[in-house]
Amino acid sequence: MKAVLSKCLRAFKADGQLRFGVIGVIVLLLVIILAPILAPHDPYSYEFVRLLPPGSEDHFLGTNHMGQDVYSMLIFGVGTSLKVALISALISGALGVLIGGLGGFLGGWVDQVVSEIINIFLMIPTFFLILLIISLFGNSIANVMIVIGITTWPGNAKLMRAQALSLRERTFVRSAVALGETKTQILFKYILPNGIFPVVANTTRSMAGAILTEASLSFLGLGDPNIISWGQMIYQGKSYITSAWWISAFSGIAVILTVIVFYMLGDGLNHVLNPKYNYGRSK
Protein backbone atom coordinates (compact mmCIF):
# COMPACT_ATOMS: atom_id res chain seq x y z
CA MET A 1 0.00 0.00 0.00
CA LYS A 2 2.83 2.38 0.86
CA ALA A 3 4.49 1.74 -2.52
CA VAL A 4 1.21 2.45 -4.35
CA LEU A 5 0.68 5.70 -2.45
CA SER A 6 4.27 6.73 -3.13
CA LYS A 7 3.84 6.05 -6.85
CA CYS A 8 0.59 8.05 -6.96
CA LEU A 9 2.25 10.96 -5.17
CA ARG A 10 5.18 11.00 -7.61
CA ALA A 11 2.76 10.92 -10.55
CA PHE A 12 0.75 13.76 -9.00
CA LYS A 13 3.86 15.90 -8.64
CA ALA A 14 5.22 15.05 -12.09
CA ASP A 15 2.17 15.83 -14.24
CA GLY A 16 0.69 19.32 -14.15
CA GLN A 17 -2.50 18.34 -15.98
CA LEU A 18 -3.20 15.53 -13.52
CA ARG A 19 -2.54 17.88 -10.62
CA PHE A 20 -4.91 20.51 -12.02
CA GLY A 21 -7.61 17.90 -12.69
CA VAL A 22 -7.40 16.27 -9.26
CA ILE A 23 -7.48 19.59 -7.43
CA GLY A 24 -10.40 20.74 -9.58
CA VAL A 25 -12.41 17.58 -8.85
CA ILE A 26 -11.69 17.92 -5.11
CA VAL A 27 -12.96 21.51 -5.21
CA LEU A 28 -16.14 20.41 -7.02
CA LEU A 29 -16.75 17.64 -4.48
CA LEU A 30 -16.27 20.08 -1.61
CA VAL A 31 -18.79 22.43 -3.22
CA ILE A 32 -21.32 19.58 -3.38
CA ILE A 33 -20.73 18.60 0.25
CA LEU A 34 -20.84 22.19 1.51
CA ALA A 35 -23.62 23.36 -0.81
CA PRO A 36 -26.14 24.05 2.01
CA ILE A 37 -23.51 26.23 3.71
CA LEU A 38 -22.11 27.94 0.59
CA ALA A 39 -25.52 28.78 -0.88
CA PRO A 40 -27.00 31.78 0.96
CA HIS A 41 -30.55 31.11 -0.28
CA ASP A 42 -32.80 28.24 -1.23
CA PRO A 43 -32.24 27.83 -5.00
CA TYR A 44 -35.87 26.77 -5.44
CA SER A 45 -37.22 29.90 -3.74
CA TYR A 46 -39.06 32.42 -5.95
CA GLU A 47 -39.58 35.06 -3.28
CA PHE A 48 -36.86 37.50 -4.34
CA VAL A 49 -37.03 40.50 -6.67
CA ARG A 50 -36.80 39.48 -10.31
CA LEU A 51 -33.78 40.25 -12.53
CA LEU A 52 -31.59 41.87 -9.90
CA PRO A 53 -28.12 42.52 -11.39
CA PRO A 54 -24.91 41.05 -9.93
CA GLY A 55 -23.66 42.82 -6.84
CA SER A 56 -27.10 43.51 -5.48
CA GLU A 57 -27.60 43.27 -1.74
CA ASP A 58 -27.83 39.62 -0.61
CA HIS A 59 -27.54 38.44 -4.23
CA PHE A 60 -23.89 38.15 -5.23
CA LEU A 61 -24.64 37.09 -8.84
CA GLY A 62 -28.13 38.58 -9.11
CA THR A 63 -31.47 36.86 -9.60
CA ASN A 64 -33.20 35.35 -12.63
CA HIS A 65 -36.54 36.10 -14.27
CA MET A 66 -38.40 34.06 -11.65
CA GLY A 67 -36.71 35.62 -8.63
CA GLN A 68 -34.30 32.76 -7.87
CA ASP A 69 -30.81 33.49 -6.57
CA VAL A 70 -28.33 32.76 -9.39
CA TYR A 71 -25.37 32.07 -7.11
CA SER A 72 -27.31 29.50 -5.07
CA MET A 73 -28.49 27.84 -8.27
CA LEU A 74 -24.89 27.63 -9.51
CA ILE A 75 -23.77 25.98 -6.27
CA PHE A 76 -26.51 23.33 -6.36
CA GLY A 77 -26.01 22.82 -10.10
CA VAL A 78 -22.58 21.31 -9.40
CA GLY A 79 -24.21 18.19 -7.95
CA THR A 80 -26.40 17.70 -11.01
CA SER A 81 -23.51 18.05 -13.44
CA LEU A 82 -21.24 15.65 -11.56
CA LYS A 83 -24.04 13.11 -11.14
CA VAL A 84 -24.71 13.15 -14.88
CA ALA A 85 -20.99 12.91 -15.65
CA LEU A 86 -20.29 10.06 -13.22
CA ILE A 87 -23.28 7.81 -13.90
CA SER A 88 -23.23 8.19 -17.68
CA ALA A 89 -19.46 7.61 -17.74
CA LEU A 90 -19.81 4.48 -15.58
CA ILE A 91 -22.47 3.09 -17.92
CA SER A 92 -20.35 3.92 -20.97
CA GLY A 93 -17.20 2.48 -19.41
CA ALA A 94 -18.86 -0.75 -18.23
CA LEU A 95 -20.48 -1.44 -21.60
CA GLY A 96 -17.31 -0.58 -23.49
CA VAL A 97 -15.07 -2.76 -21.33
CA LEU A 98 -17.36 -5.79 -21.42
CA ILE A 99 -18.25 -5.64 -25.12
CA GLY A 100 -14.78 -4.69 -26.34
CA GLY A 101 -13.01 -7.13 -24.05
CA LEU A 102 -15.30 -10.00 -25.07
CA GLY A 103 -14.84 -9.33 -28.78
CA GLY A 104 -11.07 -8.92 -28.63
CA PHE A 105 -10.49 -11.94 -26.39
CA LEU A 106 -12.77 -14.43 -28.15
CA GLY A 107 -11.92 -13.27 -31.67
CA GLY A 108 -13.45 -15.00 -34.70
CA TRP A 109 -17.06 -14.29 -35.55
CA VAL A 110 -17.69 -12.74 -32.13
CA ASP A 111 -15.04 -10.13 -32.79
CA GLN A 112 -16.44 -9.48 -36.27
CA VAL A 113 -19.94 -8.92 -34.90
CA VAL A 114 -18.65 -6.65 -32.11
CA SER A 115 -16.55 -4.66 -34.60
CA GLU A 116 -19.52 -4.14 -36.92
CA ILE A 117 -21.76 -3.04 -34.03
CA ILE A 118 -19.09 -0.57 -32.91
CA ASN A 119 -18.73 0.77 -36.45
CA ILE A 120 -22.50 1.20 -36.79
CA PHE A 121 -22.69 3.20 -33.56
CA LEU A 122 -19.70 5.31 -34.58
CA MET A 123 -21.39 6.18 -37.90
CA ILE A 124 -24.62 7.31 -36.25
CA PRO A 125 -24.67 11.01 -35.24
CA THR A 126 -24.72 10.44 -31.48
CA PHE A 127 -26.33 13.71 -30.45
CA PHE A 128 -29.24 13.28 -32.85
CA LEU A 129 -29.74 9.74 -31.58
CA ILE A 130 -29.85 11.12 -28.04
CA LEU A 131 -32.40 13.73 -29.13
CA LEU A 132 -34.57 11.01 -30.67
CA ILE A 133 -34.47 8.75 -27.60
CA ILE A 134 -35.14 11.61 -25.18
CA SER A 135 -38.09 12.74 -27.31
CA LEU A 136 -39.54 9.21 -27.26
CA PHE A 137 -38.93 8.22 -23.62
CA GLY A 138 -39.01 11.52 -21.76
CA ASN A 139 -36.48 14.01 -20.48
CA SER A 140 -36.07 12.99 -16.85
CA ILE A 141 -32.52 13.24 -15.52
CA ALA A 142 -32.37 9.43 -15.19
CA ASN A 143 -33.22 9.01 -18.88
CA VAL A 144 -30.62 11.62 -19.82
CA MET A 145 -27.87 9.81 -17.91
CA ILE A 146 -28.78 6.39 -19.28
CA VAL A 147 -29.06 7.62 -22.87
CA ILE A 148 -25.70 9.39 -22.75
CA GLY A 149 -24.12 6.24 -21.31
CA ILE A 150 -25.53 3.80 -23.89
CA THR A 151 -24.64 6.02 -26.85
CA THR A 152 -21.02 6.79 -25.93
CA TRP A 153 -19.62 3.31 -25.21
CA PRO A 154 -18.11 2.53 -28.68
CA GLY A 155 -14.96 4.59 -28.02
CA ASN A 156 -14.27 2.64 -24.84
CA ALA A 157 -15.09 -0.63 -26.62
CA LYS A 158 -12.53 0.06 -29.36
CA LEU A 159 -9.82 0.76 -26.78
CA MET A 160 -10.66 -2.36 -24.77
CA ARG A 161 -10.84 -4.53 -27.89
CA ALA A 162 -7.35 -3.43 -28.96
CA GLN A 163 -6.04 -4.18 -25.46
CA ALA A 164 -7.69 -7.62 -25.43
CA LEU A 165 -6.27 -8.52 -28.84
CA SER A 166 -2.80 -7.77 -27.52
CA LEU A 167 -3.18 -9.33 -24.08
CA ARG A 168 -4.56 -12.66 -25.28
CA GLU A 169 -1.20 -13.36 -26.94
CA ARG A 170 0.83 -12.65 -23.80
CA THR A 171 2.65 -15.44 -22.01
CA PHE A 172 0.69 -15.18 -18.75
CA VAL A 173 -2.61 -15.58 -20.61
CA ARG A 174 -1.36 -18.55 -22.59
CA SER A 175 -0.11 -20.07 -19.34
CA ALA A 176 -3.58 -19.65 -17.82
CA VAL A 177 -5.09 -21.42 -20.84
CA ALA A 178 -2.57 -24.26 -20.48
CA LEU A 179 -3.44 -24.61 -16.81
CA GLY A 180 -7.08 -25.20 -17.74
CA GLU A 181 -8.67 -21.96 -16.60
CA THR A 182 -11.97 -21.20 -18.31
CA LYS A 183 -12.43 -18.36 -20.78
CA THR A 184 -14.60 -16.52 -18.28
CA GLN A 185 -11.90 -16.74 -15.63
CA ILE A 186 -9.22 -15.56 -18.04
CA LEU A 187 -11.37 -12.67 -19.27
CA PHE A 188 -12.16 -11.33 -15.80
CA LYS A 189 -8.89 -12.20 -14.06
CA TYR A 190 -6.33 -11.27 -16.71
CA ILE A 191 -7.73 -9.51 -19.76
CA LEU A 192 -10.05 -6.87 -18.28
CA PRO A 193 -7.93 -5.86 -15.24
CA ASN A 194 -4.77 -5.47 -17.34
CA GLY A 195 -6.42 -3.71 -20.27
CA ILE A 196 -8.69 -1.28 -18.50
CA PHE A 197 -6.20 1.55 -17.94
CA PRO A 198 -6.63 3.38 -21.29
CA VAL A 199 -10.40 3.06 -20.83
CA VAL A 200 -10.16 4.75 -17.43
CA ALA A 201 -8.46 7.78 -18.97
CA ASN A 202 -10.90 7.90 -21.87
CA THR A 203 -13.91 7.51 -19.56
CA THR A 204 -12.70 10.44 -17.47
CA ARG A 205 -12.58 12.61 -20.59
CA SER A 206 -16.03 11.38 -21.59
CA MET A 207 -17.37 12.80 -18.32
CA ALA A 208 -16.68 16.25 -19.76
CA GLY A 209 -18.63 15.27 -22.87
CA ALA A 210 -21.55 14.11 -20.72
CA ILE A 211 -21.71 17.48 -18.97
CA LEU A 212 -21.73 19.26 -22.34
CA THR A 213 -24.41 16.91 -23.68
CA GLU A 214 -26.69 17.50 -20.69
CA ALA A 215 -26.18 21.25 -21.03
CA SER A 216 -26.94 21.05 -24.76
CA LEU A 217 -30.13 19.08 -24.18
CA SER A 218 -31.26 21.53 -21.51
CA PHE A 219 -30.45 24.47 -23.79
CA LEU A 220 -32.75 22.94 -26.41
CA GLY A 221 -35.51 22.54 -23.83
CA LEU A 222 -35.05 18.78 -23.49
CA GLY A 223 -33.54 18.75 -20.02
CA ASP A 224 -35.33 17.81 -16.82
CA PRO A 225 -37.28 20.93 -15.72
CA ASN A 226 -37.66 19.59 -12.17
CA ILE A 227 -33.98 19.89 -11.27
CA ILE A 228 -31.47 22.72 -11.13
CA SER A 229 -28.71 22.35 -13.69
CA TRP A 230 -26.37 24.71 -15.47
CA GLY A 231 -27.92 23.78 -18.80
CA GLN A 232 -31.37 24.71 -17.51
CA MET A 233 -30.01 28.05 -16.33
CA ILE A 234 -28.58 28.78 -19.78
CA TYR A 235 -31.90 27.80 -21.35
CA GLN A 236 -33.89 30.01 -18.98
CA GLY A 237 -31.60 32.97 -19.52
CA LYS A 238 -31.34 32.91 -23.31
CA SER A 239 -34.51 35.00 -23.68
CA TYR A 240 -32.99 37.64 -21.40
CA ILE A 241 -29.45 37.61 -22.78
CA THR A 242 -29.53 41.31 -23.77
CA SER A 243 -31.16 42.58 -20.56
CA ALA A 244 -30.09 40.04 -17.93
CA TRP A 245 -26.92 38.44 -19.31
CA TRP A 246 -25.84 37.07 -15.93
CA ILE A 247 -28.47 34.31 -15.90
CA SER A 248 -26.80 32.46 -18.79
CA ALA A 249 -23.26 33.83 -18.55
CA PHE A 250 -22.27 32.53 -15.12
CA SER A 251 -23.73 29.07 -15.72
CA GLY A 252 -21.96 28.92 -19.09
CA ILE A 253 -18.65 29.80 -17.44
CA ALA A 254 -19.25 27.09 -14.83
CA VAL A 255 -19.79 24.50 -17.60
CA ILE A 256 -16.59 25.57 -19.37
CA LEU A 257 -14.45 25.41 -16.23
CA THR A 258 -15.83 22.01 -15.20
CA VAL A 259 -15.27 20.56 -18.66
CA ILE A 260 -11.66 21.83 -18.60
CA VAL A 261 -11.13 20.15 -15.21
CA PHE A 262 -12.26 16.75 -16.51
CA TYR A 263 -10.30 17.05 -19.75
CA MET A 264 -7.19 17.88 -17.76
CA LEU A 265 -7.82 14.96 -15.41
CA GLY A 266 -8.32 12.59 -18.34
CA ASP A 267 -5.15 13.74 -20.10
CA GLY A 268 -3.21 13.50 -16.85
CA LEU A 269 -4.40 9.94 -16.26
CA ASN A 270 -3.50 9.07 -19.84
CA HIS A 271 0.04 10.33 -19.25
CA VAL A 272 0.40 8.43 -15.99
CA LEU A 273 -1.07 5.17 -17.30
CA ASN A 274 0.69 5.29 -20.67
CA PRO A 275 3.74 2.97 -20.71
CA LYS A 276 5.69 5.56 -22.77
CA TYR A 277 5.86 7.80 -19.71
CA ASN A 278 7.77 6.99 -16.55
CA TYR A 279 5.66 9.06 -14.16
CA GLY A 280 5.38 7.49 -10.78
CA ARG A 281 8.29 5.09 -11.36
CA SER A 282 11.40 5.00 -9.34
CA LYS A 283 14.62 6.16 -10.98
Domain residues of the chain, as ranges? 6-42+70-273
Q: Which residues contact 81 (CB under 8 A, 6 or more apart)?
A: 211, 214, 229, 230, 254, 255, 258
* Alpha-carbon gap, residue 100 to 154, rounded angstroms: 8
pLDDT at 4: 47
Within 10 Å of residue 198's Cβ, how many Cβ atoms?
Answer: 18
Q: Are 216 and 127 in contact (CB under 8 A)?
A: yes
Q: Are 280 and 272 in contact (CB under 8 A)?
A: yes
Please list the residues that pair with 69 across neighbouring strands: 63
Helix boundaries (H) for the chain: 2-14, 16-33, 35-38, 70-106, 108-123, 126-137, 141-151, 154-167, 171-178, 183-186, 192-195, 197-219, 230-237, 246-273
**Cα within 13 Å of Cα(202), Cβ side:** 19
* Alpha-carbon gap, residue 95 to 113, rounded angstroms: 15
pLDDT at 282: 42
Q: Which of 238, 216, 211 is nearest to 79 (CA)?
A: 211
Main-chain dihedrals φ then ψ at residue 52, nearest 5 degrees: -70, 135
Within 10 Å of residue 220's Cβ, how many Cβ atoms?
Answer: 14
Q: Which of 66, 40, 64, 39 is nearest to 54 (CA)?
A: 64
As averages over each run of 10 residues, the pLDDT of the chain (283 residues) reads 59 77 92 91 84 83 87 91 90 92 89 90 83 82 87 90 89 86 87 86 86 85 83 86 87 92 85 59 43
Domain 6-42+70-273 architecture: Orthogonal Bundle (1.10)
Within 10 Å of residue 49's Cβ, how many Cβ atoms?
Answer: 11
Write 108-111 long-range contacts (CB < 8 A, 24+): 111/161
